[in-house]
């Protein structure tokens, strides 16, 4: 099927076009620059930016793919989770297009779309979902380990963060280290020249009272916590400033990153082993992180788990991931959405289509 994908859940206006398992176009306009001076995304600004960027981005995508709107078989759009006002812009536009062109509409889950795009390779060709698959979803707002039986109708939450998301931890820690926004790429870069063993930062929820044993699992065995980590980094930085020393930013960034990536990969791999899952997909903006990709590949390799990671350019928000999930849904014969679906800012990950 030829599927148009529309993404407007946060600050990226994304339009992707997929034909079957092949990506034809992926155009992204970001309002990130307009949020930089606030240190985070301002919902009202994001929504207005989507309204302005939507049509030009759509035109570019259709041109790049060399297709006409009339040719598409279905329109997929992010229905949630995300910023309500931002979601409404994309969803309203998608409904208008679907109605005018007489195409089926799929209001889809943004998080499952992050996972679906992991199956794409560097050339934009997607492979089928392997059997017994888990997904490690690490983004700006979510950190979850999932069992993925089918991208059309079977996603189950195994564990998640109980406070900050991994991307949020990167963004907050980068801000306190003065590395700017967004923090993920900034810390990834700063960490390259730092020593990851310089500081031993906490690995949240790894104590026996939280984890229990495989036979008798504790409540937080498969969960993460990242809020204590930024406090630990802040305290370590203060030790230097209070004594008039320069803050060792690169060492702090590298040690912070090592703590995040260590506990993310250790718990994800163990969850797979304990649930009999032999394959893992990585998805979400933090999936672009170089150290996460490296350590996860190493640990999955050692555990005999087949790891599939998305191309770096498809990790952060884009329309290709929505189109990719849409194509899966059409191919699986999933029923389309009705044209009166709402935007759901807190859509749970196991609701794939609204
Ligand atoms: P969600 O998908 O949960 O709704 P979101 O869409 O805002 O949240 P994404 O676009 O998936 O988030 O990812 C953005 C996040 O990814 C930001 O927190 C950003 O700092 C982080 N990120 C991007 N690149 C990297 C990197 N190289 N290393 C670590 N984090 C990164
Ligand atoms: Mg973004
Ligand atoms: Fe996202």
Say if residue 140 carries a ligand binding annotation: yes
Of 27-41, 75-89, 261-275, the poorest mean pLDDT is in: 27-41
Confidence of residue 91 (pLDDT cuts 50, 70, 90): very high
CA-nearest residue for atom 20, ligand 1, is 184
The pLDDT tens digits of the residues spanning 298-318 come to 999 999 999 999 999 999 999
Identify which ligand lies nearest to the alpha carbon of 32: 2
Lookup: tokens for 99: 């109605």
Q: How far apart are CA 199 and CA 259, in angstroms?
A: 9
Across the range 17-23, mean pLDDT stands at: 98
As to burial, measured by CB atoms within 10 angstroms (0-12 exposed, 13-18 middle, 19+ buried), residue 127 is exposed
Q: Is the CB of 10 under 6 A from ligand 1?
A: yes
**H/E element, 4:** strand 2-7
CB atoms within 10 A of CB 243: 7
Protein residues near ligand 2, an ion, with CB under 5 A: 10-12, 317
From the list 1, 27, 67, the residue with the least C-alpha distance to 327 is 1
Where would I find the H helices in the chain? 32-35, 43-65, 84-101, 110-116, 166-176, 183-191, 208-211, 227-242, 249-275, 290-303, 319-331
Q: Is the CB of 184 under 6 A from ligand 1?
A: yes
Say if residue 159 carries a ligand binding annotation: no
Please give the pLDDT value at position 310.
Answer: 98
Ligand 1: nearest atom to the Cα of 316:
10
pTM assigned to the model: 0.97
Q: How far apart are CA 167 and CA 184, in angstroms?
A: 7
State the helix-helix crossing angle for 43-65 and 84-101, rounded to 10 degrees. 30
- Are 217 and 319 contacting, i.e. CB atoms less than 8 angstroms apart? no
Confidence of residue 39 (pLDDT cuts 50, 70, 90): confident
CA-nearest residue for atom 13, ligand 1, is 285
As to burial, measured by CB atoms within 10 angstroms (0-12 exposed, 13-18 middle, 19+ buried), residue 274 is middle
CA-nearest residue for atom 5, ligand 1, is 140
Strand ranges of the sheet holding 12-19, from the earlier edge strand across to the other edge: 22-30, 12-19, 2-7, 74-80, 105-109
Of 35-49, 126-140, 196-210, the poorest mean pLDDT is in: 35-49
Say if residue 317 carries a ligand binding annotation: yes
CA-nearest residue for atom 3, ligand 1, is 141
Confidence of residue 180 (pLDDT cuts 50, 70, 90): confident
Ligand 1: nearest atom to the Cα of 142:
3
Please give the pLDDT value at position 38.
Answer: 87
Average pLDDT of the chain? Answer: 97
Q: Is the CB of 183 under 6 A from ligand 1?
A: yes
Across the range 165-175, mean pLDDT stands at: 97
- Are 263 and 203 contacting, i.e. CB atoms less than 8 angstroms apart? yes
Q: Is the CB of 7 under 6 A from ligand 1?
A: no
The pLDDT tens digits of the residues spanning 252-262 come to 999 999 999 99
CA-nearest residue for atom 16, ligand 1, is 285
Backbone φ, ψ for residue 28 (5° rounding): -130, 130
Say if residue 301 carries a ligand binding annotation: no
Q: Is the CB of 167 under 6 A from ligand 1?
A: yes
Length of the chain in terms of residues written: 354
Q: How far apart are CA 271 and CA 211, in angstroms?
A: 11
Calculate the CA 148 to chain-centre distance. 15
The pLDDT tens digits of the residues spanning 109-128 come to 999 999 999 999 999 999 99
CB atoms within 10 A of CB 11: 28
Identify which ligand lies nearest to the alpha carbon of 169: 1
Q: Is the CB of 310 under 6 A from ligand 1?
A: no
Ligand 1: nearest atom to the Cα of 12:
10
Backbone φ, ψ for residue 185 (5° rounding): -60, -35
């Amino acid at each position: 099927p030829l599927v148009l994908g529309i993404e407007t859940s946060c600050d990226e206006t994304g339009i992707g076009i997929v034909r079957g398992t092949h990506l034809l176009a992926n155009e992204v306009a970001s309002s990130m620059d307009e949020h930089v001076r606030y240190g985070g995304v301002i919902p009202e600004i994001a929504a207005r930016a989507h309204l302005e960027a939507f049509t030009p981005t759509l035109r570019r995508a259709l041109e790049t793919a060399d297709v006409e709107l009339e040719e598409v078989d279905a329109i997929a759009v992010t229905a949630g989770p995300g910023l309500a006002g931002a979601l409404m812009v994309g969803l309203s536009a998608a409904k208008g297009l679907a109605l005018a062109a007489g195409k089926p509409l799929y209001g889809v889950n943004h998080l499952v779309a992050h996972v679906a795009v992991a199956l794409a390779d560097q050339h934009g060709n997607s492979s089928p979902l392997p059997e017994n698959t888990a997904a490690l979803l690490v983004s700006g707002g979510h950190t979850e380990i999932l069992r993925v039986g089918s991208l059309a109708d079977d996603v189950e939450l195994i564990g998640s963060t109980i406070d900050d998301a991994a991307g949020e931890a990167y963004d907050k820690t980068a801000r306190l280290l003065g590395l700017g926004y967004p923090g993920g790429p900034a810390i990834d870069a700063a960490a390259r020249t730092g020593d990851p063993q310089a500081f031993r930062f906490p690995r949240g929820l790894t104590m026996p009272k939280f984890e229990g044993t495989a036979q008798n699992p504790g409540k937080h065995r498969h969960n993460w916590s990242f809020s204590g980590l930024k406090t630990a980094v802040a305290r370590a930085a203060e030790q230097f400033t209070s004594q008039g020393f320069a803050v060792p930013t690169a060492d702090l960034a590298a040690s912070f990153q090592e703590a995040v990536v260590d506990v993310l990969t250790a718990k994800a791999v163990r969850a797979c082993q304990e649930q009999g899952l032999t394959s893992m997909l990585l998805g979400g903006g933090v999936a672009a992180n170089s150290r996460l990709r490296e350590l996860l590949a190493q640990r999955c390799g050692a555990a005999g788990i087949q790891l599939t990671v998305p191309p770096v350019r498809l990790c952060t928000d884009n329309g290709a991931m929505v189109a990719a999930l849409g194509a899966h849904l059409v191919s699986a014969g999933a029923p389309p959405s009705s044209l009166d679906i709402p935007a759901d800012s807190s859509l749970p990950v196991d609701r794939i289509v609204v």
